């Protein structure tokens, strides 16, 4: 027999046996209502908690944690950014006229580009969590790309100052006395060394044989340790260097801590942090591979480039919308970055460079290498007046860096720099007097990265474009669902949909008239063998007299 909804099951005399699925249905219903309320308010709590803890940031920090084998570890070990360098050489077109005095200025034109891919790897990368540092051995090589160049390096020729002659003569004028310079002059004259000569691009970039280099070995024993002199050959000479990057301090994360065991640049006069100046301190500067997450808007970035032998400031320019759905900050090389008035300018008391030039001679064997912006942009107009063919263009010759600030990852880079030789003369060696007081343009190069690696774009889109609306959707669904579930459960606990019927002793002895029932089954709960005494029987009957809605309470099956 099936006892349906709102039937008060009381005394049913029977000699048979009773089978009840749940003798205490009211307890089950109450338990379910409490569970609904608890689960609902837990869901609401989870939604509120997600608002305050920002799960996206927690996931990002976990993903960007530096440990062996992690995504960021691999990016430091072998950066996937494709960086290219385009080189333009200066060709001097009126040398005979200038040396004869017929022309008062040197005429120049550009030859190029010669394109290289710069491949940076970091060997022996180790993570020291206790000290909060990442240690590595950087290695940078240039691979020539003839398909992106105007010609093969050996096929393109230019007329340019004899770099070895000017460099060694200027070094001797700086370091040696009159008689040593006079001896060098007679030796050079005997060798028939020319002030200008024809070069291939290979010669200027990667070095050429010149007898004067052998003389330099004798003049400066133990100082000049190479047999030929080339600009890129010296800039990218392989050195055994170790770098420490800060990964423990959140505000300075990914900044340089030491280079070759020093927090500064000894070649620029660094001795200790107490007596240092911004020019020669690298601690707290960046190479540009990564910046601290949540990088502050408006804060400038000091960039250290080993080849440029100094710190160069990049100023905040503005916030821009990117093509991939997120914004980025743009930083431009400060207008005063090569100026003597810059806070990063090195001190000088003798043979100082003109305005707009940076002396890096101490980083390159004392050779008078001077860096500037291409085409003497923002440089001393007196120097620019010595030449015809220089066309400084802020749009073409400026440098900038684009950074996504939330994660602190660089997106694109354009860095332009020019390599010059500052002529220094001595009364004992007049061989370079025609170039006295001039800063000679040799080449300029543009290092650029136009495309962010796909894996970085995917990470940024998940973090900045896809993730935020997804998290908001989850929070709203959790909150609304939890609120409805909690209110419904609390209401059922407070106002249950069942009640107890009144039962007297005589109801125990009453029988149920089973009209509309196909067969009779008399159950006498008071006499049923499942209960040991009258009190138990009465208590059971009391429990079974509750009235419930049919829709929410399963039927009770009673068998013979």
Alpha helix segments (H runs only) across 192-236? 201-206, 211-219, 231-235
The C-alpha atoms of residue 403 and residue 318 are separated, in whole angstroms, by 11
Quick one: what percent of the chain has pLDDT higher than 90? 47
DSSP string over 394-441: HHHH--EEEEETTTTEEEEEEEEEEEEEE---BTTBGGGGGGTT-EEE
The C-alpha angle with vertex 199 and arms to 194 and 202, in degrees rounded to 5, equals: 140
User: Is 171 strand, coil or helix?
Assistant: helix
Tell me what pLDDT residue 177 has. Answer: 85
**And the tokens for 265?**
């640049």
Quick one: what percent of the chain has pLDDT higher than 70? 80
Tell me what pLDDT residue 312 has. Answer: 94
- Count of CB atoms within 10 A of residue 85's CB? 19
Alpha helix segments (H runs only) across 259-325? none
Q: Which element (helix H / strand E) includes 330?
A: strand 327-333
Predicted confidence (pLDDT) at residue 425 exceeds the cutoff of 80: yes
Average pLDDT over residues 6-31: 48
Average pLDDT over residues 189-212: 88
Predicted confidence band of residue 50 (pLDDT cuts 50, 70, 90): confident
- Strands, DSSP E only, in 76-169? 83-92, 106-128, 133-144, 157-161
Predicted confidence band of residue 53 (pLDDT cuts 50, 70, 90): confident
**And the tokens for 423?**
């002529």
pTM for this prediction: 0.79
Task: Give the distance between the most distant pair of CA atoms in the chain.
Answer: 140
Tell me what pLDDT residue 179 has. Answer: 85
Predicted confidence (pLDDT) at residue 203 exceeds the cutoff of 90: yes
Query: Among all chains, which residue has been given the structure tokens 């994360």?
Result: 253
- Average predicted confidence (pLDDT) for the chain: 82
User: Is 523 strand, coil or helix?
Assistant: strand
Predicted confidence band of residue 222 (pLDDT cuts 50, 70, 90): low
**And the tokens for 31?**
């338990």
- Count of CB atoms within 10 A of residue 177's CB? 11
Tell me what pLDDT residue 518 has. Answer: 43
**And the tokens for 15?**
């000699």
Predicted confidence (pLDDT) at residue 406 exceeds the cutoff of 90: yes
More confident residue, 458 or 45: 458
């Amino acid at each position: 027999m099936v006892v349906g909804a709102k039937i008060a099951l009381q005394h049913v005399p029977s000699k048979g046996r009773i089978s009840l699925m749940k003798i205490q249905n009211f307890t089950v219903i109450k338990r379910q209502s409490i569970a609904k309320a608890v689960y609902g308010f837990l869901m609401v709590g989870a939604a509120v908690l997600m608002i305050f803890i920002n799960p996206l940031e927690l996931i990002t920090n976990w993903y960007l944690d530096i440990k062996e084998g992690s995504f960021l570890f691999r990016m430091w070990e072998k950066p996937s950014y494709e960086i290219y360098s385009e080189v333009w050489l200066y060709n001097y077109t009126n040398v005979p006229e200038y040396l004869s005095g017929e022309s008062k200025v040197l005429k120049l034109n550009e030859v190029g580009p010669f394109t290289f891919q710069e491949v940076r790897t970091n060997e022996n990368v180790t993570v020291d969590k206790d000290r909060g540092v990442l240690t590595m051995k950087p290695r940078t090589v240039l691979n020539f790309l003839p398909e992106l160049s105007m010609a093969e390096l050996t096929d393109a020729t230019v007329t340019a100052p004899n770099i070895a002659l000017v460099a060694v003569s200027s070094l001797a004028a700086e370091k040696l006395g009159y008689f040593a310079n006079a001896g060098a002059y007679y030796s050079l004259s005997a060798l028939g060394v020319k002030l200008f000569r024809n070069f291939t691009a290979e010669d200027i970039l990667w070095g050429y044989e010149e007898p004067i280099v052998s003389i330099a070995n004798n003049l400066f024993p133990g100082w000049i340790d190479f047999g030929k002199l080339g600009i890129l050959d010296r800039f990218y000479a392989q050195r055994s260097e170790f770098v420490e990057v800060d990964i423990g301090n959140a505000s300075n994360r990914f900044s340089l801590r030491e280079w070759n065991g020093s927090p500064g640049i000894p070649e620029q006069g660094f001795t200790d942090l107490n007596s240092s100046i911004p020019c020669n301190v690298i601690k707290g500067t960046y190479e540009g591979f990564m910046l601290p997450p949540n990088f502050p808007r408006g804060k400038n970035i000091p960039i250290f480039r080993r080849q440029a032998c100094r710190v160069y400031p990049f100023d905040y320019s503005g916030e821009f919308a990117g093509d991939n759905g997120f914004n980025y900050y743009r930083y431009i090389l400060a207008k005063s970055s090569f100026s003597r008035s810059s806070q990063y300018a090195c001190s000088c008391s003798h043979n100082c460079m003109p305005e707009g030039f940076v002396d890096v001679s101490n980083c390159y064997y004392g050779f008078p290498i001077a860096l500037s912006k291409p085409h003497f942009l923002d440089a001393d107009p007196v120097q620019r007046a010595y030449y015809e063919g220089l066309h400084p263009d802020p749009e073409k010759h400026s440098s900038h860096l684009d950074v996504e600030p939330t994660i602190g990852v660089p997106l694109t880079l354009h860095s332009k720099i020019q390599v010059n030789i500052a002529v220094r003369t001595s009364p004992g060696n007049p061989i370079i007097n025609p170039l006295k007081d001039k800063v000679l343009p040799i080449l300029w190069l543009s290092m650029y990265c136009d495309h962010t690696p796909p894996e970085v774009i995917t990470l940024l889109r998940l973090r900045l474009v896809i993730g935020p609306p997804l998290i908001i959707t989850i929070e709203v669904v959790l909150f609304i669902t939890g609120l409805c579930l909690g209110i419904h459960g609390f209401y059922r606990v407070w106002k249950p949909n069942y009640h107890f019927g009144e039962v007297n002793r005589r109801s125990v002895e009453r029988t149920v008239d089973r009209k509309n029932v196909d067969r009779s089954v008399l159950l006498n709960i008071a006499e049923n063998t499942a209960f040991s005494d009258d009190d138990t029987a009465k208590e059971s009957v009391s429990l079974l007299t509750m009235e419930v809605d049919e829709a929410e309470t399963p039927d009770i099956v009673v068998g013979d």
